[in-house]
Amino acid sequence: MPNRLETYRVAAYNTAWQSENKMHDDTVAKRFGFSGGLVPGVDVMAYMMHVPVAKWGRAFLERGLIDARFIKPVYDGEMAEVESLENDGELTIEVFSRGELCATGTASLPASAPAVNLSAFKEVAAVAERTPVTPATFEVGKWLGTAPRRWAGQAAKEYLEDIREADPIYDREGLGHPGLVQRVMNRVLVDNTILGPWIHVGSRMQLLAAAKSGDEIAARARVIANYEKKGHRFVEFDALIVANGKTPIAHCLHVAIYQPREQAAA
């Protein structure tokens, strides 16, 4: 019998309103048909991750599998309600805001983390000088890297506050939140080109090891698709997130619209 879990409620916060991506800016987002600046998809996914971590604890952080697809925006200051249904060991997760379905996904706990060949993922540096994005920027088969990032001490504390995460496991066990992996996946785009407004539309993430607070993490990403659909330009990445240059902590598939179609003026 499916089992409905307790709803997790979050007062959504737009962590990126000052970012380079002006899709998080109220004025610019309205040009693309939105009501205001979007809460980043990576943070909505972090809200979703609260549920499997609450259920499976550290085991999920070490080997959990989660996917998410973003359907409608979540806006700053509005309540995000994360609903979840457990059936045969899998969680179906839905995020509602303003009474609308905004994101869907699933989470599960494999018996073990799959083996990953670190050498199969080419380590490259982020570009030395970014240039404006073109379709050639994300040529299929191209390898992209990110500048290493570290969230330790106050930065780690502020991240948990920004995503409204109160689960004590991160402080108690000195662990990094897996939402940080998703932020690094966004850096695959941002560290390698100059983008206009863009949108993260979905991800699949297999965790391979629990990240520790203060780990230096970076992506080794390969472009696996680059296409146009309904006037939008999409890019898809297959990436390994590596801690301290040697420990794989997540295998990710990441999909983004890097050139969205602008809505015609009314």
What's the CATH code of the domain at 94?
3.10.129.10
Q: What is the pLDDT of residues 111-132, one digit of tens each?
A: 999 999 999 999 999 999 999 9
Q: What is the pLDDT of residues 138-175, one digit of tens each?
A: 999 999 999 999 998 899 999 999 999 999 999 999 99
Expressed as residue numbers, the domain containing 13 is: 3-259
Task: Assess contact for 189 and 147: CB atoms under 8 A.
Answer: no
- What is the pLDDT of the chain when averaged over all its residues? 90
Flag whether 12 is in a domain. Answer: yes
Query: What pLDDT does residue 264 have?
Result: 42
Query: What pLDDT does residue 265 have?
Result: 41
Query: What pLDDT does residue 106 have?
Result: 98
C-alpha 23/C-alpha 19 separation (Å) is 9
Flag whether 266 is in a domain. Answer: no
* Least confident span in 34-43, 76-85, 178-187: 34-43
Q: What is the pLDDT of residues 60-89, one digit of tens each?
A: 999 999 999 999 989 888 999 999 999 999
Task: Categorise residue 192: left if φ over 0, alpha if ψ from -120 to 50, beta otherwise.
Answer: alpha
Task: Assess contact for 151 and 159: CB atoms under 8 A.
Answer: yes
Query: What pLDDT does residue 27 have?
Result: 60
Q: Decide if pLDDT at 266 tops 50.
A: no
Q: Decide if pLDDT at 26 tops 60.
A: no
Which run of H or of E encompasses 48?
A: helix 41-56
What sign has the CA pseudo-torsion 23, 28, 31, 37? positive
The one-letter amino acid code at 79 reads M
Query: What pLDDT does residue 37 have?
Result: 66
Q: Decide if pLDDT at 220 tops 70.
A: yes
Q: Decide if pLDDT at 22 tops 60.
A: no
Flag whether 28 is in a domain. Answer: yes
Flag whether 264 is in a domain. Answer: no
Residue 145 φ/ψ, nearest 5 degrees: -120, 180
Return the ∠ at Cα 184 (arms to 178 and 190), rounded to 5°: 155
Confidence label for 2 from pLDDT (cuts 50, 70 and 90)? confident
Task: Provide mean pLDDT across the span 231-239.
Answer: 95
Four-point Cα dihedral 155, 161, 162, 165, nearest 10 = 120
Flag whether 139 is in a domain. Answer: yes
- DSSP one-letter string for 106-173: EEE--SSPPP--GGGS---PPPSS--B--GGGG-TT-EEE---EE--THHHHHHHHHTT---THHHHH
Query: What pLDDT does residue 130 have?
Result: 93
Number of domains observed in the structure of the chain: 1
